[in-house]
Amino acid sequence: MRVDDFDYELPEELIALHPPERRGDSRLLALGVQSDVPRDLRFCDLPGLLRPGDLLVFNDTRVIPARLWGRKATGGRVEVLVERITGRHEALAHVRASKSPKPGVVLHLEGGVEAEVTGRAGALFALRFASPAPVLELLERHGHVPLPPYLARVDTAEDRERYQTVFARRPGAVAAPTAGLHFDRAMLDRLAAAGVAQAFVTLHVGAGTFQPVRVTEVEEHEMHAEWLQVPEETVAAVARARARGGRVVAVGTTAVRALESAAAEGELRPFEGETRLFVYPGYRFRVVDAMVTNFHLPRSTLLMLVSAFAGRERVLAAYRHAVAQRYRFFSYGDAMWLERWPAPLKS
Protein backbone atom coordinates (compact mmCIF):
# COMPACT_ATOMS: atom_id res chain seq x y z
CA MET A 1 0.00 0.00 0.00
CA ARG A 2 1.10 3.54 -0.71
CA VAL A 3 0.86 6.37 1.79
CA ASP A 4 -0.86 8.37 -0.96
CA ASP A 5 -3.81 5.97 -0.62
CA PHE A 6 -4.62 7.67 2.70
CA ASP A 7 -4.76 11.26 1.50
CA TYR A 8 -7.71 13.62 1.31
CA GLU A 9 -8.35 17.31 0.71
CA LEU A 10 -9.02 19.40 3.81
CA PRO A 11 -9.73 23.13 3.70
CA GLU A 12 -7.57 24.81 6.34
CA GLU A 13 -10.53 26.62 7.86
CA LEU A 14 -12.00 23.28 9.02
CA ILE A 15 -9.13 22.71 11.46
CA ALA A 16 -10.53 23.43 14.93
CA LEU A 17 -8.15 25.88 16.62
CA HIS A 18 -10.06 25.96 19.91
CA PRO A 19 -12.38 23.55 21.75
CA PRO A 20 -16.15 24.02 21.66
CA GLU A 21 -17.64 26.15 24.42
CA ARG A 22 -18.60 23.07 26.42
CA ARG A 23 -17.45 19.44 26.33
CA GLY A 24 -19.93 17.39 24.37
CA ASP A 25 -21.06 20.27 22.14
CA SER A 26 -19.37 18.59 19.19
CA ARG A 27 -20.95 16.80 16.27
CA LEU A 28 -20.76 13.03 15.77
CA LEU A 29 -20.46 11.32 12.39
CA ALA A 30 -21.61 7.69 12.71
CA LEU A 31 -20.48 4.96 10.32
CA GLY A 32 -21.96 1.57 11.22
CA VAL A 33 -21.81 -1.82 9.55
CA GLN A 34 -25.39 -1.76 8.27
CA SER A 35 -24.81 1.03 5.75
CA ASP A 36 -22.00 2.78 3.90
CA VAL A 37 -23.85 6.07 4.32
CA PRO A 38 -22.67 8.01 7.40
CA ARG A 39 -25.21 9.62 9.74
CA ASP A 40 -24.91 13.20 10.98
CA LEU A 41 -25.52 13.25 14.74
CA ARG A 42 -24.55 15.25 17.83
CA PHE A 43 -22.21 13.85 20.46
CA CYS A 44 -25.13 13.86 22.90
CA ASP A 45 -26.63 11.12 20.67
CA LEU A 46 -23.84 8.68 21.58
CA PRO A 47 -25.93 6.74 24.16
CA GLY A 48 -28.31 5.79 21.35
CA LEU A 49 -25.44 4.00 19.56
CA LEU A 50 -24.52 1.97 22.64
CA ARG A 51 -26.37 -0.93 24.25
CA PRO A 52 -26.68 -2.11 27.84
CA GLY A 53 -23.84 -4.55 28.42
CA ASP A 54 -21.36 -2.71 26.17
CA LEU A 55 -18.00 -1.74 27.64
CA LEU A 56 -16.36 1.64 27.03
CA VAL A 57 -12.56 1.59 27.41
CA PHE A 58 -10.91 4.96 28.09
CA ASN A 59 -7.26 6.03 28.15
CA ASP A 60 -6.63 7.68 31.53
CA THR A 61 -3.26 9.21 30.65
CA ARG A 62 -2.73 12.81 31.74
CA VAL A 63 -1.04 15.40 29.53
CA ILE A 64 1.93 17.06 31.18
CA PRO A 65 2.93 20.67 30.37
CA ALA A 66 5.99 19.31 28.62
CA ARG A 67 7.18 22.27 26.53
CA LEU A 68 9.82 24.73 27.74
CA TRP A 69 11.53 27.55 25.86
CA GLY A 70 14.92 29.01 26.65
CA ARG A 71 18.43 29.63 25.41
CA LYS A 72 21.80 27.95 25.30
CA ALA A 73 24.77 29.59 27.05
CA THR A 74 25.79 30.96 23.64
CA GLY A 75 22.47 32.82 23.42
CA GLY A 76 20.85 30.64 20.76
CA ARG A 77 17.17 29.93 21.22
CA VAL A 78 16.08 26.44 22.20
CA GLU A 79 12.79 24.61 22.58
CA VAL A 80 12.50 21.52 24.76
CA LEU A 81 9.64 19.04 24.55
CA VAL A 82 9.91 16.37 27.23
CA GLU A 83 8.90 13.02 25.73
CA ARG A 84 9.41 10.81 28.76
CA ILE A 85 10.40 11.33 32.38
CA THR A 86 13.02 8.68 33.18
CA GLY A 87 13.95 9.61 36.77
CA ARG A 88 13.41 12.16 39.49
CA HIS A 89 15.67 14.66 37.70
CA GLU A 90 16.09 13.01 34.28
CA ALA A 91 14.09 13.00 31.08
CA LEU A 92 14.28 12.23 27.39
CA ALA A 93 13.27 15.17 25.22
CA HIS A 94 13.07 16.60 21.75
CA VAL A 95 15.34 19.64 21.54
CA ARG A 96 14.99 22.17 18.75
CA ALA A 97 17.88 24.58 18.24
CA SER A 98 19.88 26.04 15.36
CA LYS A 99 22.58 23.46 16.19
CA SER A 100 22.01 20.25 18.12
CA PRO A 101 23.45 20.63 21.62
CA LYS A 102 26.27 18.29 22.54
CA PRO A 103 26.66 16.43 25.86
CA GLY A 104 27.72 18.83 28.60
CA VAL A 105 25.79 21.79 27.19
CA VAL A 106 23.53 23.49 29.75
CA LEU A 107 20.15 24.77 28.59
CA HIS A 108 18.77 27.82 30.40
CA LEU A 109 15.01 27.44 30.37
CA GLU A 110 11.97 29.35 31.61
CA GLY A 111 11.56 29.98 35.31
CA GLY A 112 15.29 29.73 35.93
CA VAL A 113 15.24 26.02 35.13
CA GLU A 114 18.56 24.58 33.96
CA ALA A 115 19.00 21.26 32.18
CA GLU A 116 22.26 19.64 31.12
CA VAL A 117 22.43 17.51 27.99
CA THR A 118 23.94 14.18 29.06
CA GLY A 119 23.61 12.15 25.86
CA ARG A 120 21.40 10.97 23.02
CA ALA A 121 18.88 8.17 22.59
CA GLY A 122 18.10 8.13 18.89
CA ALA A 123 16.29 11.36 18.03
CA LEU A 124 15.86 12.23 21.72
CA PHE A 125 18.24 14.06 24.05
CA ALA A 126 18.91 12.85 27.58
CA LEU A 127 18.58 15.75 30.03
CA ARG A 128 19.42 16.13 33.71
CA PHE A 129 17.57 18.97 35.46
CA ALA A 130 19.54 20.93 38.08
CA SER A 131 16.89 21.43 40.73
CA PRO A 132 15.93 19.77 44.00
CA ALA A 133 12.36 19.59 42.67
CA PRO A 134 11.44 16.58 40.49
CA VAL A 135 11.03 17.03 36.73
CA LEU A 136 7.26 16.71 36.81
CA GLU A 137 6.95 19.43 39.43
CA LEU A 138 9.16 21.76 37.37
CA LEU A 139 7.03 21.18 34.29
CA GLU A 140 3.79 21.76 36.17
CA ARG A 141 5.21 25.04 37.45
CA HIS A 142 6.93 26.39 34.32
CA GLY A 143 5.95 24.26 31.32
CA HIS A 144 3.49 24.89 28.52
CA VAL A 145 0.76 22.61 27.19
CA PRO A 146 2.29 20.85 24.16
CA LEU A 147 -0.40 21.71 21.63
CA PRO A 148 -0.28 19.90 18.26
CA PRO A 149 1.86 21.70 15.66
CA TYR A 150 -1.07 22.24 13.28
CA LEU A 151 -2.76 24.55 15.82
CA ALA A 152 0.12 26.99 15.26
CA ARG A 153 -0.57 29.02 18.38
CA VAL A 154 0.71 29.49 21.92
CA ASP A 155 -1.14 27.62 24.64
CA THR A 156 -3.55 29.48 26.92
CA ALA A 157 -5.06 28.95 30.36
CA GLU A 158 -8.06 27.37 28.61
CA ASP A 159 -5.82 24.65 27.17
CA ARG A 160 -4.66 23.61 30.65
CA GLU A 161 -8.19 22.37 31.29
CA ARG A 162 -9.58 21.53 27.87
CA TYR A 163 -6.58 19.68 26.38
CA GLN A 164 -7.15 17.14 29.16
CA THR A 165 -9.88 14.55 29.65
CA VAL A 166 -12.06 14.71 32.77
CA PHE A 167 -10.82 11.22 33.73
CA ALA A 168 -7.08 11.93 33.23
CA ARG A 169 -5.17 10.68 36.27
CA ARG A 170 -1.78 9.24 35.27
CA PRO A 171 0.67 11.94 34.09
CA GLY A 172 2.98 11.10 31.20
CA ALA A 173 1.46 12.06 27.85
CA VAL A 174 2.61 14.92 25.61
CA ALA A 175 -0.55 14.74 23.51
CA ALA A 176 -4.13 14.21 24.61
CA PRO A 177 -6.19 11.10 23.78
CA THR A 178 -8.51 13.49 21.99
CA ALA A 179 -11.58 11.26 21.56
CA GLY A 180 -11.93 11.43 25.33
CA LEU A 181 -12.13 15.23 25.30
CA HIS A 182 -15.81 15.07 24.28
CA PHE A 183 -16.90 13.31 27.49
CA ASP A 184 -18.02 15.29 30.51
CA ARG A 185 -19.10 13.90 33.88
CA ALA A 186 -22.77 14.13 32.97
CA MET A 187 -22.26 11.95 29.88
CA LEU A 188 -20.24 9.38 31.84
CA ASP A 189 -22.98 9.20 34.49
CA ARG A 190 -25.67 8.95 31.81
CA LEU A 191 -23.92 6.04 30.13
CA ALA A 192 -23.37 4.23 33.44
CA ALA A 193 -27.06 4.62 34.28
CA ALA A 194 -27.90 3.11 30.89
CA GLY A 195 -25.95 -0.06 31.70
CA VAL A 196 -22.79 0.76 29.73
CA ALA A 197 -19.74 -0.35 31.71
CA GLN A 198 -16.46 1.57 31.84
CA ALA A 199 -12.83 0.48 32.11
CA PHE A 200 -9.43 2.13 31.71
CA VAL A 201 -6.08 1.58 30.08
CA THR A 202 -3.08 3.90 30.12
CA LEU A 203 -1.08 4.79 27.04
CA HIS A 204 1.22 7.79 27.36
CA VAL A 205 0.86 9.44 23.96
CA GLY A 206 4.21 10.60 22.58
CA ALA A 207 5.10 13.46 20.26
CA GLY A 208 5.73 10.89 17.54
CA THR A 209 1.97 10.74 16.99
CA PHE A 210 2.33 14.03 15.06
CA GLN A 211 5.36 13.00 13.01
CA PRO A 212 4.63 12.75 9.28
CA VAL A 213 5.01 9.42 7.52
CA ARG A 214 8.11 9.99 5.39
CA VAL A 215 8.13 6.78 3.36
CA THR A 216 6.26 5.98 0.16
CA GLU A 217 5.11 2.47 1.02
CA VAL A 218 3.03 2.05 4.16
CA GLU A 219 4.78 -1.17 5.19
CA GLU A 220 8.16 0.62 5.35
CA HIS A 221 7.09 2.99 8.14
CA GLU A 222 8.52 2.38 11.61
CA MET A 223 6.28 3.35 14.52
CA HIS A 224 7.59 5.27 17.53
CA ALA A 225 7.49 3.57 20.94
CA GLU A 226 4.89 4.48 23.58
CA TRP A 227 4.45 3.13 27.11
CA LEU A 228 1.17 1.50 28.05
CA GLN A 229 -0.53 -0.52 30.74
CA VAL A 230 -3.60 -2.73 30.48
CA PRO A 231 -4.47 -3.75 34.06
CA GLU A 232 -5.99 -7.01 35.24
CA GLU A 233 -9.30 -5.31 36.07
CA THR A 234 -9.69 -4.13 32.46
CA VAL A 235 -8.97 -7.61 31.11
CA ALA A 236 -11.64 -8.92 33.47
CA ALA A 237 -14.09 -6.20 32.37
CA VAL A 238 -13.59 -7.22 28.73
CA ALA A 239 -14.24 -10.86 29.63
CA ARG A 240 -17.45 -9.90 31.46
CA ALA A 241 -18.62 -7.84 28.48
CA ARG A 242 -18.01 -10.75 26.14
CA ALA A 243 -19.87 -13.15 28.47
CA ARG A 244 -22.98 -10.96 28.48
CA GLY A 245 -22.89 -10.38 24.72
CA GLY A 246 -21.69 -6.78 24.95
CA ARG A 247 -19.29 -4.99 22.65
CA VAL A 248 -15.86 -3.60 23.51
CA VAL A 249 -15.88 0.07 22.48
CA ALA A 250 -12.52 1.85 22.54
CA VAL A 251 -12.53 5.59 23.12
CA GLY A 252 -9.75 6.75 20.83
CA THR A 253 -7.04 5.15 18.74
CA THR A 254 -4.77 5.03 21.80
CA ALA A 255 -7.23 2.77 23.61
CA VAL A 256 -7.39 0.62 20.46
CA ARG A 257 -3.61 0.30 20.31
CA ALA A 258 -3.35 -0.46 24.02
CA LEU A 259 -5.93 -3.26 23.91
CA GLU A 260 -4.65 -4.75 20.68
CA SER A 261 -1.04 -4.60 21.90
CA ALA A 262 -2.04 -6.51 25.03
CA ALA A 263 -3.66 -9.14 22.81
CA ALA A 264 -0.73 -9.48 20.41
CA GLU A 265 -0.23 -13.14 21.39
CA GLY A 266 -3.84 -13.92 20.54
CA GLU A 267 -5.54 -13.50 23.91
CA LEU A 268 -6.02 -10.31 25.92
CA ARG A 269 -3.79 -10.36 28.97
CA PRO A 270 -2.55 -7.78 31.47
CA PHE A 271 0.36 -5.91 29.95
CA GLU A 272 2.82 -3.21 30.93
CA GLY A 273 5.60 -1.99 28.65
CA GLU A 274 6.24 -0.36 25.31
CA THR A 275 4.37 -0.82 22.07
CA ARG A 276 5.28 -0.06 18.49
CA LEU A 277 2.09 -1.59 17.12
CA PHE A 278 1.37 -0.22 13.65
CA VAL A 279 -2.19 -0.88 12.51
CA TYR A 280 -3.01 -0.53 8.82
CA PRO A 281 -5.39 -2.33 6.43
CA GLY A 282 -4.94 -6.06 6.65
CA TYR A 283 -4.55 -6.04 10.43
CA ARG A 284 -6.75 -8.55 12.28
CA PHE A 285 -8.44 -6.95 15.28
CA ARG A 286 -8.69 -9.22 18.31
CA VAL A 287 -10.44 -7.09 20.94
CA VAL A 288 -12.18 -3.92 19.75
CA ASP A 289 -15.67 -4.02 18.18
CA ALA A 290 -16.42 -0.30 17.87
CA MET A 291 -14.67 2.97 18.56
CA VAL A 292 -15.15 6.66 19.18
CA THR A 293 -12.48 8.75 17.52
CA ASN A 294 -11.73 12.18 16.09
CA PHE A 295 -10.89 13.07 12.48
CA HIS A 296 -7.23 12.45 11.70
CA LEU A 297 -4.59 14.10 9.54
CA PRO A 298 -4.19 13.07 5.91
CA ARG A 299 -1.53 10.40 5.29
CA SER A 300 -1.21 9.72 9.04
CA THR A 301 -0.83 6.40 10.86
CA LEU A 302 -4.05 7.18 12.76
CA LEU A 303 -6.01 7.49 9.51
CA MET A 304 -4.48 4.16 8.49
CA LEU A 305 -5.68 2.62 11.77
CA VAL A 306 -9.29 3.73 11.37
CA SER A 307 -9.16 2.64 7.71
CA ALA A 308 -8.08 -0.81 8.85
CA PHE A 309 -10.94 -0.82 11.33
CA ALA A 310 -13.83 0.39 9.16
CA GLY A 311 -12.58 0.00 5.57
CA ARG A 312 -10.36 2.46 3.73
CA GLU A 313 -12.81 3.44 1.00
CA ARG A 314 -15.70 3.73 3.48
CA VAL A 315 -13.65 5.89 5.84
CA LEU A 316 -12.35 8.18 3.10
CA ALA A 317 -15.88 8.57 1.74
CA ALA A 318 -17.04 9.50 5.25
CA TYR A 319 -14.22 12.05 5.48
CA ARG A 320 -15.31 13.60 2.18
CA HIS A 321 -18.84 13.80 3.59
CA ALA A 322 -17.48 15.45 6.75
CA VAL A 323 -15.63 18.06 4.68
CA ALA A 324 -18.75 18.78 2.63
CA GLN A 325 -20.82 19.12 5.81
CA ARG A 326 -18.23 21.41 7.43
CA TYR A 327 -17.27 19.22 10.38
CA ARG A 328 -14.43 20.46 12.59
CA PHE A 329 -11.22 18.44 12.30
CA PHE A 330 -8.38 17.16 14.51
CA SER A 331 -7.72 17.42 18.25
CA TYR A 332 -10.34 20.02 19.17
CA GLY A 333 -12.69 18.96 16.41
CA ASP A 334 -15.74 16.73 16.06
CA ALA A 335 -16.03 12.99 16.68
CA MET A 336 -16.73 9.80 14.74
CA TRP A 337 -18.43 6.56 15.73
CA LEU A 338 -17.03 3.55 13.86
CA GLU A 339 -18.08 -0.09 13.97
CA ARG A 340 -15.64 -2.77 12.89
CA TRP A 341 -16.12 -3.66 9.26
CA PRO A 342 -16.77 -6.21 8.06
CA ALA A 343 -18.62 -7.23 11.22
CA PRO A 344 -17.03 -10.21 13.01
CA LEU A 345 -18.74 -13.54 12.39
CA LYS A 346 -20.93 -14.83 15.21
CA SER A 347 -19.51 -17.98 16.79
pLDDT of 211:
83
Largest CA distance in the chain: 67
Query: Residue 18 has what pLDDT?
Result: 96
**CB-CB contact of 114 with 68 (8 Å):** no
What average pLDDT does this structure show over 342-346? 67
pLDDT score, position 208? 82
Residue 13's pLDDT is what? 97
Q: What is the pLDDT of residue 74?
A: 86
User: Which CATH class for the 67-144 domain?
Assistant: mainly beta
Say whether pLDDT at 193 is over 60.
yes
Closest CA to 176 of 186, 188, 184, 165: 165
Give me the pLDDT at residue 344, please.
67
Q: What is the pLDDT of residues 134-187, one digit of tens each?
A: 999 999 999 999 999 999 999 999 999 999 999 999 999 999 999 999 999 999
C-alpha 111/C-alpha 269 separation (Å) is 44
- Both ends of the chain: CA-CA distance in Å? 31
pLDDT band at 207; cut points 50, 70, 90? confident
- What are the residue ranges spanned by the domains of the chain? 3-63+160-339, 67-144
The pLDDT of residue 317: 98
Q: What is the mean pLDDT of residues 224-232?
A: 96
Is pLDDT of 346 > 60?
A: no
CB 78 within 8 A of CB 114: no
**CATH code at 3-63+160-339:** 3.40.1780.10
* pLDDT tens figures, 265-319: 999 999 999 999 999 999 999 999 999 999 999 999 999 999 999 999 999 999 9
- Is beta strand 290-294 parallel, antiparallel or unpaired with respect to 335-339? antiparallel
Are 299 and 6 in contact by the 8 Å Cβ rule? The answer is yes
Q: What is the pLDDT of residue 30?
A: 98
pLDDT at 89: 97
Q: Do domains 3-63+160-339 and 67-144 have the same CATH topology?
A: no
Q: What is the pLDDT of residues 3-61, one digit of tens each?
A: 999 999 999 999 999 999 999 999 999 999 999 999 999 999 999 999 999 999 999 99
Compute the mean pLDDT over every residue in the chain, rounded to the nearest whole number.
96
- pLDDT tens, residue by residue, 103-118: 999 999 999 999 999 9
pLDDT at 347: 43
